[in-house]
Structures are given as structure tokens and as C-alpha cells.
Amino acid sequence: MRTLFLTIGAFAIAIGLLWIGQGTGYVNWPQSSFMISQIQWAYYGAALSLVGLLMVAFARGR
């Protein structure tokens, strides 16, 4: 269970950071993404990264 939480948490953090980058316009990949420079995706990414961070913290604490 610990490994599962660590893996999912790490993926959530990575995807969240990607969404933050796309939402703020710093990451323009892929070029045709509807998420580029759409600030709500930066908020979604921040929330997802926070959930991932909590999952990793929970897994490490067990």
C-alpha cells in the first residue's frame, strides 16, 4: 500500500506541475493544447500537486 501511495502521489505531483506550467503559459507543450495560458488549469494543477504531496507524506509516515 505504501508503494502505491508513493507512486500515485509522485505522478500526481508531476502532472500537477505540468498543468501549472501549461496554465501559466510557461510550458507550451503540446502546441495545440487547450490548457495553455488558461489560469484555471494552474489552479487545478496546484490542487492536484497538493493531493499528491499529501499522499506522499501519508505514505512516508506509515
Residue 25's pLDDT is: 95
Residues 23, 27: Cα–Cα separation, whole Å: 8
Residues 59, 23: Cα–Cα separation, whole Å: 29
36, pLDDT greater than 80: yes
Residue 52's pLDDT is: 99
CA atoms within 13 A on the CB side of 24: 10
Q: Where do the structural domains in the chain lie, given as residue ranges?
A: 2-43+52-61
Residue 29's pLDDT is: 87
Please, what is the average pLDDT of the chain? 96
